[in-house]
């Protein structure tokens, strides 16, 4: 919260044991707040399907969500490089070994913080629509439209060096 204004900041995260890692610019207000021990609630939601009922009132979504509570802790400069490796390997296993690693200037511009998980709660909704009995005869299709997050075909950078092959960790997608 800044000047009584709450903020929600979309950001990538990586779980490392019993803590969540977050990273970003040294200028980030959120990361400065967490480095100073500030409290945070991290939320993650995956939408699994649209639940289409006979009544507009009973439309819903199937989902999985978690709310994680904790206080930020700075990661010492001597451990930030290793934390970034954990972060990258969580996002795309195998990429750290191939990409150019952060240089000293980039490391000075980057903040990595940990949020030990103090408590968490999860909520799940699954299954078909829950229509009222009087709506069951309504002549409309009802059910679930499943949704999923699947990687698509890799799209090469138009400035890529000719002849560089697709890495195995991307080539197995499909």
**From CA 34, how far away is CA 17, in angstroms rounded?**
18
> Does residue 173 carry a pLDDT above 60?
no
Q: What is the pLDDT of residues 101-155, one digit of tens each?
A: 999 999 999 999 999 999 999 999 999 999 999 999 999 999 999 999 988 899 9
Q: Region 67-88: what's the mean pLDDT?
A: 94
Query: pTM of the predicted model, to two decimals?
Result: 0.84
Q: What is the pLDDT of residues 42-52, one digit of tens each?
A: 999 999 999 99
Query: Do residues 65 and 43 lie in contact, with contact meaning Cβ atoms separated by under 8 Å?
Result: yes
**From CA 120, how far away is CA 137, in angstroms rounded?**
41
> Does residue 174 carry a pLDDT above 60?
no
pLDDT of 172 reads 58
DSSP letter (8 states) at residue 55: S
pLDDT of 1 reads 62
- Per the prediction, the chain carries an average pLDDT of 92
**From CA 85, how far away is CA 102, in angstroms rounded?**
10
Domain ranges of the chain: 14-147
CATH T-level fold of 14-147: Pnp Oxidase; Chain A (2.30.110)
């Amino acid at each position: 919260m800044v000047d009584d204004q709450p903020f929600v900041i979309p950001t990538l995260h990586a779980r490392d044991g019993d803590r969540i890692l977050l990273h970003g610019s040294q200028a980030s207000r959120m990361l400065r707040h967490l480095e100073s021990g500030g409290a945070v609630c991290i939320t993650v939601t995956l939408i699994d399907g649209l639940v289409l009922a006979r009544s507009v009132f009973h439309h819903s979504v199937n989902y999985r969500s978690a709310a994680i509570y904790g206080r930020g802790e700075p990661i010492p400069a001597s451990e930030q490089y290793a934390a970034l490796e954990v972060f990258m390997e969580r996002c795309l296993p195998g990429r750290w070994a191939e990409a150019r690693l952060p240089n000293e200037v980039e490391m000075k511009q980057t903040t990595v913080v940990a949020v030990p998980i103090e408590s968490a709660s999860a909520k799940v909704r699954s299954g078909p629509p829950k229509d009222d009995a009087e709506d069951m005869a309504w002549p409309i299709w009802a059910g679930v439209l499943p949704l999923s997050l699947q990687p698509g075909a890799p799209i090469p950078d138009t400035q890529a060096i000719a002849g560089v092959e697709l890495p195995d960790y991307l080539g197995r997608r499909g």
